[in-house]
Chain A
Amino acid sequence: MLSSLGSAGGKSAKPSFVSYVTPEEIKSEKEPSRKEKHPDLLPGEVVFCSASTVLKYTQDDLSQRGVFGVLLCTNFRVSFVSDEAPTEEMLFKNKLYGENDIPLSCVDNIYGDKRKLITGGLVKNKYPSKMIIHCKDLRVFQFSLSFSKEEDAKKIFQGIVHHCLEPKSLRCLFAFSYCENTSYPGSYSYCREHLVSSRSLGFLLFPVYFIVPKNVSDEDLTKYQGKGLPMWCWSHHSGCALFKTASIPLVQEDNVPQTYMEKMLTAVAHNHLYSVKTEDLSDTLPTVQDILLSYNRFKQFFLIDNTTEFWMSDMKWFSSLDNCGWLDIIRQCLQKAVEVVESLEKENTNVLIMEEGGSDLCCVVSSLVQLMLDPYYRTLLGFQSLVQKEWVAGGHAFLDRSNHLHLKDKVESPVFLLFLECVWQLQQQHGPAFQFSETYLTVLSDSIHVPVFTTFLFNNDGHRDSLLRAESPHTQRSPLNCPTVWDWSVQFDCKAQDLFTNPLYTEKPKQDTSVRKSYRPRHLRQLSLPSSAFKTPPKKGFFKDEADNLKKILGVKRLSRWMLSPSSDSPQTSSSVREFYEAWQTKPLDYHGLLLPCLDGPSIRVWMQRYLRWIHDVQILGGGPVAMLSKVSEILGEVQELQRQLDRHGCTLTSNHKGARPRAKTAAAVIAARSSVRLSSSFPFVTSRNWSFKPAIPTSLLQSLMVTGMAGNLADREDDGGPESLV
């Protein structure tokens, strides 16, 4: 039941859902029956507290309209259970939490009356009448507590604040209680499987999961004291490789790092003449603190509690966006990755990227480099192993960076999100190159804040292992089994998961590999595990001339192996990157080959699906890119159906067409969606069954805003006429 409060609401309420019952009546009438209301609890989920007769405002207007229901706080989420009959099943339903649920780790900020920011610890006996919750997935909830019993309201408010904002210990995270109560099949760590197989290839596998050359002794390694050990990331088919490290192996210091690096090179690099270029990322890229600051400003543009404010800010949208610097940070990361790609691809030098800690921007840049160079990482499976390899095994401190525990001494920063943003930019520019869809990236970014997946709960593998082992209810041998984020069935059913594949993606047409075999030494192919670098497409000859030239020079002159890269800010670098891009751009685009992003102003954009999906006023009903994609999926479905029929006839298709056998299910999901709901630009996150609707008309078309700063008195002049018509 929707109730209307206040005169404004009463007036504008549409007759279809008006129920003019005063809140008081509701309270007295229905209270007893509501006690048992709660969401379907997950295994291990416990309700901490609840309050009934809470009003949840409908997000998108000022009319104070809303829905009454029960607000609960459990060890997993804040949940609002409406008194209304449940709405229709959503197509894209998350099995863990519904549209009115907020996982505790997903709560970003809580505001009280007069939009006062609530901070943990300060909440005593008071509670606000209105509570606004901003979520990390950019949803905004507004609740009124003024119709609930004082006792309940106080309890729920304090409970929510306590569980969402105050420091807690890791074992309080829901994952532990969830996993203890589910018999989850153990299947974690994709990465390890890959790595184990590389043992035979001249590498030793270390328990903390990085690869070192076999010829390096443990003694050598101990000299690093756990810091600054260069890690191999990826090998280019030319033989040069990408490494990352935490501290700086300066040439002038004791020779340890160099010696190690030399050994590493000997093991990895095919051609010993290649030099090593070092890139200190902290010199040129923003710090994790900068990233956080910028993102905090950026996200505010999308956390909308009222439409008037939204439209007010619309005129200044571009400059606000510019000033928060988020897009610029994305651009810088991409640019750095292109620089590294250039070194590997064109100059054929080894590259060692480094930063303090070695697990933030190093992860961003190294994974971007691999995405650009290696088409395997643009597949669903490949992307997953990239994240596992570079981020999870690579020791990105997910727990600290997402600060699920609200500890003061941890540096929170959306570094992984920044990476996904960069991937989105690449995907936006080169859609058909990626097997996964935009929706996949959006869902992945949401999943960071669902404290169920081991993927994002720990600071490194060692951390994970020791904790899961310690928490295990069973013997020491079997650690607690928790799902990884990649087990999408935990969150979505098959149909919804179909939306993760990109209908534009086509697998690489099979072709004769005999030519390439002679071109690349065989053992090198294996070095690239777990990637499939050597399945790179027939771009032989791409930059080959340059590479050959360089090899010649190196052969003759024996250049010093160690070079420090010039500062990235220098115009020289940026123009070299530009030339590299332009040279690449003139070649025919191969989606299974090297991909470079265009970094020009208009090309770096806002990730609309992620950021605008909940804002009702900017939903394009019946439009948006999904309108086209769904048509592609539709045809794809027909083609696949025809293929099946032809197969039944035993007809062998001359598959000269690309994409003859893409995954069939993509189409099905979208078509199913089309039949029942109207697509909008927010698909699949928000679907609308309503076809007729009122258009959003900007509420503040303030001409004063723009006339200022406009050339002279032009605005006052008459359309047609000379000087005499000047007013």
Chain B
Amino acid sequence: TKFSQASSFHSRPKHLLSSPPKKIWGPTFGYKCLESLKMEPLADCSLLPGEERIIDKDIIYICPFSGALKGKVFITNYRLYFKSADADPAVTLDVPLGAIGRVEKMGGASSRGENSYGLDITCKDMRNLRFALKQEGHSRRDIFDILFKYAFPLSHGLLLFAYLSQEKFEENGWSVYKPMEEFRRQGLPNDKWRVTFINANYELCDTYPTILVVPFKATEEDLRKVCTFRSRGRIPVLSWIHRENQAVICRCSQPLVGMSGKRNKDDERYLDLIREANGTAKLTIYDARPSVNAVANKATGGGYEGDDAYQNAELVFLDIHNIHVMRESLKKLKDIVYPNVEESHWLSSLESTHWLEHIKLVISGAIQVADKISGGNSVVVHCSDGWDRTAQLTSLAMLMLDSHYRTLRGFQVLLEKEWIGFGHKFANRIGHGDKNHADQDRSPIFVQFIDCVWQMTKQFPTAFEFNERLLVTILDHLFSCRFGTFLYNCERARDTNELRSKTVSLWSLVNSDLSFYQNPFYTPESNRVLYPVASMRHLELWVTYYIRWNPRIRQQQQSPVEQRYIELLALRDEYLKKLEELQLSDSSPNSSHLSNSSTPNAASPTQHITHLHTPF
């Protein structure tokens, strides 16, 4: 078989850019490029700047698809790289250490069976790796110790690789998102909404960003009072405003109602200010949780907005489950797709993981939010702390409502704003550099969100400027620790650790090579609200992500439609050029040399087409 299991093939290391890749990005590129990209095993030293080689060893990779393969493993401070010795074509593995969730020894001194002594590595990106080693000479101990140390640097007092990387890019990704610019794009501040710097030093809320937009009528004092009544001080603040009807999406955490059903006049008044701002009769509060959970939260001091206290608001529960349920669901999904796709009763097995069901609930929650906003009603979204389900809902609703977020750069802004800025706890959810694989705080909430985005791109293949490759790249670097983008839990921690000055942003990589991530079918349609269909009939498993390691499945993943489209685009340009040359030589048959001096305007072929193309 021809596969090589490199993990980073969706992104091309900067230094490979020197030989510019083909102009045509066939959809297969991501996979096929492997052949050309195959980093000749560190022997040729195609290491990232700042990457250092630590150890290499002869080893047997027990490939679940093609059996035991002899070869060599190289471990650097960034990756584990394996290349088979005798298989043809060579099987390679390229795994960023950040993607490793757990390393275990397999078999003991008494192990008999062939290849039963070695290492078992569980990855965060839906695969497991098994290596067999010789029992003699401590070779396993050496490699285990090194892997353990470099895969979990934070547990060993080491720096994450992002802080060691010396990568340079043409563009600085950290400048992609400027909060004030983004608010101005939305038309803020205005006479109803103001920008406040009350959190400039993270004093109001340590998990919020520094710049917040709040109702114009709410004073700083009001904000401080509301702060006491919202879990972890995460007060309702504006995320997005509808340009025409001025309806807003606000996000926050649960109110601290508690068992006794406490009320807070300031909080009540504050929510009413949000409602008032565009003069709607009722404010809709979307509580992302199932109602039972919201009730249960009262026991730990939380709760939800009661009818009595918030008279001008209606509360809707969206029945989305918590991080633990999602974690188990993805675990089950992995069980049925890796290494082999469950054969008997595939669909029932898929259903029993509930993964798509959760996706459905998240998407239909976001549809409801978007629908309310389109209807001119402001909404407030929260869950318990407002950094997991809330982020999913607000960002998906914004993706449906605002076509800007469907562009390549707009999507980066969306992630920077709703996820990174508002403190989705990436460090805890992913466990960057941390050895504690059983940590109950870990959960694939962000993966789930990206899956929802993928479902939307699948349903609206022409509405997004970016392609699937971007989504996979984002998920790869969610784990890889090569970039600073997804490190730490909140802005405050990023500031403390000087993240933006000491690490490189993922968007530097992406924006230095935008064409790689562009969807050729993209047709901008501003002001168009996208409502995906949140029915199981249309939701499908993201095979190209979850089952991408399986060489049998991969074959299916090429998009011939894209290939054909790109071929036709090239053909059109070629013909246009030819036609132009012909027309020139026709008009001035005696001065054919002129055609050389006027090159066709390749930049805007569509302008040429307008007069050529007969409308049907």
B440 touches A642 (CB 8 A): no
Given contacts A319-B351, A718-B300, contact A628 B521 (CB under 8 A): yes
A706 touches B354 (CB 8 A): yes
Given contacts A582-B1, A714-B328, A725-B300, contact A620 B345 (CB under 8 A): no
Q: Interface digits, B530-574 against A, CB 8 Å rule (1 contact, 0 not)?
A: 111111111011010001000111011010111011011111101
B461 touches A318 (CB 8 A): no
Contact of B552 among A585, A635, A641 (CB under 8 A): A585
Residue of B nearest to A710 (CB): B325
- CB within 8 Å of B: which A496-515 residues: 503-504, 506
Contact of B579 among A603, A642, A695, A717 (CB under 8 A): A642
Complex: how many Å from CA A313 to CA B536?
9
Residue of B nearest to A597 (CB): B556
Complex: how many Å from CA A29 to CA B572?
61
- CB within 8 Å of B: which A665-680 residues: 667-668, 671-672, 675
Q: Interface digits, B348-364 against A, CB 8 Å rule (1 contact, 0 not)?
A: 11111010110011001
Q: Which of B16-24, B41-49, B117-125, B290-298 has 4 or more CB atoms under 8 Å from chain A?
A: B290-298
Residues of B within 8 A of A311 (CB): 535
Residues of A within 8 A of B345 (CB): 322
Q: In the assembled complex, how far is the CB of residue A160 from the closest CB belonging to chain B, in whole angstroms?
A: 31
Q: In the assembled complex, how far is the CB of residue B559 from the closest CB belonging to chain A, in whole angstroms?
A: 9
Residues of A within 8 A of B300 (CB): 718, 721, 725, 727
Residues of A within 8 A of B572 (CB): 635, 638-639, 642
Q: Which of A281-289, A462-470, A656-664 has 4 or more CB atoms under 8 Å from chain B?
A: A656-664
Q: Interface digits, B158-196 against A, CB 8 Å rule (1 contact, 0 not)?
A: 000000000000000000000000000000000000000
Q: In the assembled complex, how far is the CB of residue B314 from the closest CB belonging to chain A, in whole angstroms?
A: 15
Interface membership of B109, Cβ < 8 A: no
- CB within 8 Å of B: which A301-330 residues: 311, 314-319, 321-323, 327
Interface membership of A645, Cβ < 8 A: yes
Contact of A719 among B319, B322, B575 (CB under 8 A): B322
B347 touches A327 (CB 8 A): yes
Complex: how many Å from CA A578 to CA B609?
48
Residue of A nearest to B232 (CB): A720
Contact of B556 among A322, A506, A598, A641 (CB under 8 A): A598
Contact of A646 among B1, B292, B297, B578 (CB under 8 A): B578
Residues of A within 8 A of B462 (CB): 623, 627-628, 631
Residues of A within 8 A of B555 (CB): 585, 589, 598
Q: Which of A6-14, A379-387, A697-705 has 4 or more CB atoms under 8 Å from chain B?
A: A697-705
Interface membership of B220, Cβ < 8 A: no
- CB within 8 Å of B: which A385-434 residues: 429-432
Residues of A within 8 A of B576 (CB): 642
Residues of A within 8 A of B562 (CB): 628
Residues of B within 8 A of A706 (CB): 354, 357
A612 touches B357 (CB 8 A): no
Q: Which of B209-217, B380-388, B471-479 has 4 or more CB atoms under 8 Å from chain A?
A: B380-388
Most buried by B among A718, A725, A727: A718
Most buried by B among A327, A603, A695, A710: A695
Interface membership of B614, Cβ < 8 A: yes
Interface membership of A617, Cβ < 8 A: yes
Complex: how many Å from CA A697 to CA B375?
14
Interface membership of B321, Cβ < 8 A: yes
Q: In the assembled complex, how far is the CB of residue B468 from the closest CB belonging to chain A, in whole angstroms?
A: 13
Complex: how many Å from CA A316 to CA B537?
10
A627 touches B352 (CB 8 A): no
B541 touches A602 (CB 8 A): yes
Residues of A within 8 A of B561 (CB): 431, 504, 625, 628-629, 632
Interface membership of A619, Cβ < 8 A: yes
Complex: how many Å from CA A606 to CA B538?
10
Complex: how many Å from CA A372 to CA B166?
52
B319 touches A718 (CB 8 A): no
Interface membership of A637, Cβ < 8 A: yes
Q: In the assembled complex, how far is the CB of residue A622 from the closest CB belonging to chain B, in whole angstroms?
A: 7
Residues of A within 8 A of B530 (CB): 622-623
Residues of A within 8 A of B612 (CB): 638, 641-642, 645
B613 touches A637 (CB 8 A): yes
Given contacts A602-B341, A627-B462, contact A314 B553 (CB under 8 A): no
Interface membership of A696, Cβ < 8 A: yes
Complex: how many Å from CA A612 to CA B459?
14
Interface membership of A716, Cβ < 8 A: yes
Interface membership of B367, Cβ < 8 A: yes
Contact of B565 among A315, A635, A658, A698 (CB under 8 A): A635
A639 touches B385 (CB 8 A): no
For the residues of B in contact with A, the DSSP-based class is helix
Residues of B within 8 A of A327 (CB): 347
A719 touches B532 (CB 8 A): no
Q: Interface digits, B506-545 against A, CB 8 Å rule (1 contact, 0 not)?
A: 0000000000000001010000101111111110110100
Interface membership of B142, Cβ < 8 A: no
A715 touches B613 (CB 8 A): no
Q: In the assembled complex, how far is the CB of residue A569 from the closest CB belonging to chain B, in whole angstroms?
A: 12
Residues of B within 8 A of A124 (CB): none
B571 touches A429 (CB 8 A): no
Residue of A nearest to B368 (CB): A697
B569 touches A314 (CB 8 A): no
Interface membership of B262, Cβ < 8 A: no
B535 touches A315 (CB 8 A): no
A637 touches B616 (CB 8 A): yes
Complex: how many Å from CA A475 to CA B463?
62
Interface membership of B371, Cβ < 8 A: yes
A698 touches B534 (CB 8 A): yes
Given contacts A318-B350, A638-B613, contact A620 B538 (CB under 8 A): yes
Complex: how many Å from CA A624 to CA B462?
9
Interface membership of A643, Cβ < 8 A: yes
Interface membership of B324, Cβ < 8 A: yes
Given contacts A601-B342, A601-B347, A639-B575, contact A659 B297 (CB under 8 A): no
A598 touches B367 (CB 8 A): no
B328 touches A717 (CB 8 A): no
A602 touches B367 (CB 8 A): no
Contact of A618 among B318, B328, B346, B535 (CB under 8 A): B535
Interface membership of B145, Cβ < 8 A: no
Q: Interface digits, B225-260 against A, CB 8 Å rule (1 contact, 0 not)?
A: 000000000000000000000000000000000000
Complex: how many Å from CA A441 to CA B460?
24
Most buried by B among A581, A627, A720: A720
B552 touches A617 (CB 8 A): no
Complex: how many Å from CA A589 to CA B554?
13
B536 touches A619 (CB 8 A): no
Residue of B nearest to A694 (CB): B371
Residues of A within 8 A of B15 (CB): none
Q: In the assembled complex, how far is the CB of residue A418 from the closest CB belonging to chain B, in whole angstroms?
A: 18
Q: In the assembled complex, how far is the CB of residue A580 from the closest CB belonging to chain B, in whole angstroms?
A: 12
Contact of B568 among A431, A624, A636, A707 (CB under 8 A): A636
Given contacts A322-B348, A651-B578, contact A314 B536 (CB under 8 A): yes
Q: In the assembled complex, how far is the CB of residue B232 from the closest CB belonging to chain A, in whole angstroms?
A: 9
Instruction: Provide 13 A-B residue pairs closer than 8 Å at the C-beta atoms, listed in order of the A residue.
Output: A318-B347, A600-B346, A603-B553, A618-B538, A620-B459, A620-B532, A623-B463, A643-B575, A649-B582, A681-B459, A695-B370, A695-B531, A718-B297
Using A601-B341, A715-B322 as known contacts, list a sample of 10 further A-B pairs with CB atoms less than 8 Å apart, ordered by residue number in A: A322-B347, A323-B348, A619-B533, A628-B461, A635-B565, A638-B572, A696-B534, A697-B368, A725-B300, A727-B296
**Which A positions have Cβ atoms within 8 angstroms of B?**
311, 314-319, 321-323, 327, 429-432, 503-504, 506, 578, 581-582, 585-586, 589, 598, 600-603, 606, 608, 612, 617-625, 627-629, 631-632, 635-639, 641-643, 645-646, 649, 651, 653, 657-660, 667-668, 671-672, 675, 681, 693-698, 701, 703, 706-707, 709-711, 714-722, 725, 727
9 tightest A-B CB contacts, nearest first: A601-B346, A695-B531, A322-B347, A318-B351, A642-B575, A317-B536, A727-B296, A623-B460, A318-B347
